[in-house]
Copies of this chain bind each other. A is one copy, B any other.
Amino acid sequence: MSAQPTAVSATQQRAAAPAGISAGIERLEATELAAEIEFLTARARSLGSGRANRMLADLDLKVRSYSVLSLACSGENPSQRELADFLSLDPSQIVSLVDQLEKRGAVTREADPRDRRSKVITATAAGRRLYQEASAVVRESEARSLRALDEAERETLRGLLRRVAFDNGD
């Protein structure tokens, strides 16, 4: 599990950068805050989703809509409620995300025959094609965000985050 060594430390990395460019903030990396996993998680996701959103803009998608599309393509036929739970969003946010994707013909919304209150979201053929493109973009974005880690480290990170993300107390 602990594949930490390898790679260059963030400090070494930044020391190599042209002084004064991203200046100032490395001083703050020695603070208590910078040691908090929650802070690091927040910063990593802010940078990562910022980049992904910029790169997905070509396809008229954001990380949010991409995520819904991805699950719609999964074959698991999620309901909107499940999408909300899984993506940590309010059900009303899912409504508008699905609205947009449905409007552009990427997904369909059908009443679940076993519980007609809930709507099953499924990708159309066009939606699956869009997902193929978007997925490549997201992989590229992720690769850039994770450039500091080698493949083994990425696997370690994935495993740890998975447990935090899905066994998150109370």
Of B7, B44, B48, B167, which one neighbours A8 at CB under 8 angstroms? B167
Of B2, B13, B42, B82, which one neighbours A28 at CB under 8 angstroms? B82
Q: Is A19 interfacial (CB 8 A cutoff)?
A: no
The bracket for how many chain A residues form the interface is: 35 or more
A interface majority secondary structure: helix
Residues facing B in A1-20 (CB within 8 A) are 1-2, 4, 7-10, 13-14
Nearest CB of chain B from residue A123's CB, rounded to whole Å: 12
CB pair A88–B47 under 8 Å, yes or no, is yes
Please give the residue numbers on chain A whose beta carbons come within 8 Å of chain B beta carbons, in ascending order.
Answer: 1-2, 4, 7-10, 13-14, 22, 24-52, 63, 67, 70-71, 74, 76, 78-79, 81-82, 85-88, 135, 138, 141-142, 144-149, 152-154, 156-170
